[in-house]
Amino acid sequence: MATALITPYVQPSGCISAFELTTITTSFESTLTTITVLASDAAAPDFSVCQPSLWDSGSTTDLFTFSPAVCPQDWTYYEMSSTKQYSAAYCCASLSGFEFRAPGYALPTPVLSPACARTITSGDTTITAPLASHTNTMGTFTEGMIVHRAWHVSWAESDLASMSPSLPPLTSGKYLATWEPGQIITDGAYDHHNGDNSGVRGWRSVLYFAAIGVPLIFLAFITCGGWLLCRKRIKRRAQQVPVNMELRAK
């Protein structure tokens, strides 16, 4: 059963981030590129002490899954969405520059997926961390990506009254790419279905117009063109009658 976090989680004092150095190889237009990654190290001795209880319950895919829950203090909500049963979002440490996922890169371990990533360019920072091989060898990180596992939180509408901060009401079908506590979402904004099926109704209107309206317009165009052509022929024949009569008279 997932741990409930109805208020933002704050790490105990004295906790420090545990990271390890590794690399990943990515291919772009047949060119292989090796990228240095400073990855969150869940195997570090003090890692679990600085996490909520049961953060690692269940399978690898269920790591950092909490319900009902809100994101940790000063983190950003990503891919916030809702169904008829519950709402859900991913959480990343935005104040530290992390954004949800690392597009285009295969992460070094499934434990890090889905991930929050921050790109570091040369000269921004220098960090010393153990190598992923755990041989007690230290390495220096100066550029590449810093990655931590994204948290996954979910809640039901009935949970909202007891949760803090106040989360935006999500009607079924609403989707927010990002949301930060305190951000006001107006009624109807980001609704994909505005209730449950207005989006479907909108598409139905387009389909009805394509199936019925377009053929009717085309038929009217053909009919109008045919009427103008017949009128032109009748007018031409009327102009030829006096000429024919004059020829016969001669």
Domain ranges, ordered by start, for the chain? 3-195, 197-250
What are the tokens at 84?
């008829």
pTM above 0.85, yes or no: no
What are the tokens at 243?
């000429």
CA angle (73, 79, 85) in 5-degree steps: 95
Q: Could you tell me if 69 and 162 are in contact, meaning their C-beta atoms sit under 8 angstroms apart?
A: no
pLDDT tens profile 66-124: 999 999 999 999 999 988 888 999 999 988 889 897 555 566 666 677 889 888 888 88
pLDDT tens profile 157-206: 899 999 999 998 777 677 889 999 988 877 666 776 544 443 333 434 44
